[in-house]
Amino acid sequence: MERMTRGCVGLIAMFADSLEQIPRARNGRAPDVFRPGGWIPMREYRNDEAVDFAIVGTGAGGGTLACKLAEYGFSVVAFDAGPYFRPLEDFASDESEQNKVYWTDDRIVDGDNPLQLGSNNSGKSVGGSTVHFAMVSLRFRPEWFKSRSLLGYGADWPLDWREMWNYYTDVEQALKISGPVTYPWGPHRPRYPYRAHPLNAAARVLALGCEAMGVKWTETPLATLSAPRGLAHPCVYRGFCVTGCSTNAKQSALVTWIPRAIAAGAEIRDLAMVGRVEVNQAGLVTGVHYHREGNWHFQCARNVVVAGYAIETPRLLLNSATDQFPDGLANSSGLVGKNLMAQSNQAVWGVMEREIRSYKGPPSLAITEHWNYEDKGKDFFGGYAYMSQGPLPQLWAHTEMSAHGLWGSRLVREMEKYNHIAGLKIVGEMLPQETNRVTLADDLDQYGLRIPRVTYSWCDNDKRLIDHSLKFMSQALEAVNARDIWTQDDDTCHLNGTARMGSAPDNSVVDADCRSWDIPNLWICDGSVFPTVGGVNPSLTIQAIACRTADRIRALAGRGELEVRGKRNAAKLDQRSTELQP
């Protein structure tokens, strides 16, 4: 028995090592995420074959864009530094095991409020951070797209909210968002494709608290299935959403956009770390250098899209500096890496007399956006939503340990209250500041690339928003007779900014189409293009921007304003190019 146990452990270790070293998407096939052990055919391109688009990153931005561009007839290769997981086989109901889905490579953090990086904001696998995101799928408040002009803070987006409203609907349909019949805030929107998930006890605490405080609440729109969809089963409420869904109920890019992209002719290259974007003497990008299976390679491309999210995107642009672009690519404005915006993620916790067992179900089943849409009674700019919470046991033990210095028997006694814990947690808007930034450190990573230094400090407005939210949520828990209430005031989530879009090259990195002002065949399509972040989770907006960018690329190519391969795409490009013209 001992030999068998050791043998099993050895096999598991060997499997884990191979998953991190040997790509799965190769030899004309990619993993079938819906069938254990299955494969799907995948087109492959030679490195010396100039594809229309090389896309760096396969998350909410890159994965969505790869799908749409491939379906429009462009040749696409999408790269991801992480592995290609099979959720039905690779994911376990084990918090420690699932650390494998996070980006935990070395990064240096500093500033007055150094950011925690990894599990709360960075993914490293095909599908990116959507593999472990909380699935909360919210639209921006319309005024946020013109926050400087209409609300007096931040920066205006070069987009119209009404156009974005249509793309939000497209994404909600593509992901089969489960949500309420009517949504109580903002302009009218179509009914969500799938019914809302039933509330658990933690969500009912939020609902009762909101009613006691006189504010509206609703079921949270979530990108996890409440009914079957093809080969994907509905959510079984096992609670491991933010560590990777093992049933495929979560509608991540890995199980939605990526299979569609491959079916349309795109190639996905997993375990492929892009280290540099190449530029020729004419000032145009010609492809990307990437590390795979122990060697560096170069993929030729007519266009390059950087979609590595708010840290890896500026890092790649800065690491790609040349004599022609000494400050990094797309950086004539000097804004690459600047205006990094996290979102505040503070919480209030309390103990309820009855059992809550908040881990049963997705962690955020109920929400109020009252303070996103109500501007009266605020001493701060921006807004926040807050949601019910469902921390898993290991995370909760770490929270108690770090917040209260508990260890040993004291921690064990506190954990005995776990099934009675209820919590409310915000997603709050933090303001853009150029001093919050991503730069390059002198230290090198395993690929010989300079690692990022992430500098972050809260401004006075950020602090006032946090203080307001903690007081309001504390009152909400008091109103439902929670006891032993305490505040968690040092948490953040999500990362945006660092390559903002704008209306002019002197105040932004890309235009409204996510196209670099400096290099016309270089694009950026992820959360880094956000001029502001709002008080909602960013994934739905990132995917909506990617869908819009794909439509704009098709329109530009159809008018002959973009270099693509030509004949293969001509019919598809001409089909709708005229209707997409501004």
How does pLDDT run across 293-322, given as a tens digit for each residue?
A: 999 999 999 999 999 999 999 999 999 999
Pick left, alpha or beta for residue 361 (phi over 0 → left; psi -120 to 50 → alpha; otherwise beta): left
Task: Tell me the residue ranges of DSSP E strands in 20-86.
Answer: 29-31, 39-41, 51-56, 76-79
Token pair in block for residue 12: 């598991």
Angstrom distance (rounded) from CA 429 to CA 415? 32
Helix-helix angle 161-175:539-558, to 10 degrees: 110
Q: What is the pLDDT of residue 118?
A: 82
How does pLDDT run across 379-394, given as a tens digit for each residue?
A: 999 999 999 999 999 9
Angstrom distance (rounded) from CA 362 to CA 235? 9
User: What residue segments make up the domains of the chain, in order of their start?
Assistant: 2-576
Share of the chain above pLDDT 70, in %: 94
β-strands 366-368, 384-388 pairing: antiparallel
Q: Does domain 2-576 have CATH number 3.40.50.1860?
A: no
β-strands 366-368, 483-488 pairing: unpaired
Say if CB 426 and CB 420 are below 8 A apart. no
Band (pLDDT 50/70/90 cuts) for residue 5 is very low
In the 8-state DSSP scheme, what is residue 140? P
Mean pLDDT lowest for which of 171-185, 479-493, 567-581?
567-581
Angstrom distance (rounded) from CA 158 to CA 201? 42
Share of the chain above pLDDT 90, in %: 90
Q: What is the pLDDT of residue 581?
A: 31
Mean pLDDT lowest for which of 2-6, 353-357, 459-463?
2-6
Q: What is the pLDDT of residue 20?
A: 67
Nearest Cα residue to 176 out of 261, 262, 234? 234
Angstrom distance (rounded) from CA 310 to CA 428? 17
